[in-house]
Structure 1
């Protein structure tokens, strides 16, 4: 029982820094809520099931099942959340919140990337990206969509992107004024 408590504490402290890209988020405590947890120290693996909610600062990851893989140093390497759908939310310092959902969400802590797989949808500042696969680079705030291909090499499905017009900060030129 003591070993399980130590492992839980180790998991929580090792996940604290890499889980969130924002410095404020990284300094916040991690909270994991689930109906059940299975921790395997030998495989550096933790599986949380049943309405899983993981929060740290502005970051929130949900799913019906979340698998956390640690590297050999005990650092969080990858989180895989599955659900109907699984969700990801984070507010970067610029305040343009990112909301995402997919049947599977992979969070790669070492590269700070989120990969949305199957029925993927990502929204930031009113701009939306949807398709079967959407990749999001958290640090650079770059979205890459539409990389899924079929067996013959053609795009498996088209993507849909909606980009909001930029707000103009200067008044429009009026040619009538002289």
Structure 2
């Protein structure tokens, strides 16, 4: 039963990482067929509500991509426990791929809209380039991004 809940989450996460890498330039191309490993201190699954919660030292890895957070909540689509409708990572969220990294206090991914919203002391780094703000929203479908809340950017001349 737990395996049924973890597998769809891992697949959705792999697709989300690949989409983020392709649309935002974050990291190098990811192998979406690489295995996804999730470790946490605990996992709670409630099939009645369609909710799975990984908590305590959550680490999700696929190839060179790593996501860590204090807690990751997975919401399944109504009536389909194999389809993810949303992911929410909270507390010390860090996403790393090679030299590229994103940090925030929370990250919400709405699968239907394709929006990923990073909130709370957001810091994005790509090589020596830096973007900081209180909230950064990325639309995976359109490849657009919006940063707000005292935005600060440091761009190094000549690329990364």
Q: TM-score under structure 2 normalisation?
A: 0.76
Describe the superposition over 1:104-141 as per-residue Cα deviations: whole angstroms up to 9, x where unpaired.
11234455543210111111232211111112356776
Quote the offset at 1:100 in angstroms.
Answer: 0.6
Out of 89, 105, 109, which is 1:81 matched to? 89
**What is the match of residue 29 of structure 1?**
35
CA distance in 1, matches of 2:95, 2:141: 15
**What is the match of residue 123 of structure 1?**
125
> Which protein has the bigger helix share?
2
The 4+ residue runs of structure 1 with deviation greater than 6 A are none
Count of residue correspondences? 148
Out of 97, 117, 120, which is 1:90 matched to? 97
> Which protein has the bigger strand share?
2
Q: Could you say what the CA RMSD is over the residues aligned between the two structures, in angstroms? A: 2.6
Structure 2 residue matching 1:7: 3-state secondary structure: helix
Structure 2 residue matching 1:15: 3-state secondary structure: helix
User: Are 2:50 and 1:53 equivalent residues in the alignment?
Assistant: no
Structure 1 residue matching 2:108: 3-state secondary structure: strand
Which one scores higher on RCO, CA 8 angstroms, separation ≥ 6?
Answer: 2
Query: Structure 2: which 5+ residue stretches go unaligned?
Result: 22-28
Q: TM-score under structure 1 normalisation?
A: 0.69
Query: Structure 1: which 5+ residue stretches go unaligned?
Result: 92-96, 147-156, 168-178
- Of the two, which has the highest radius of gyration? 1
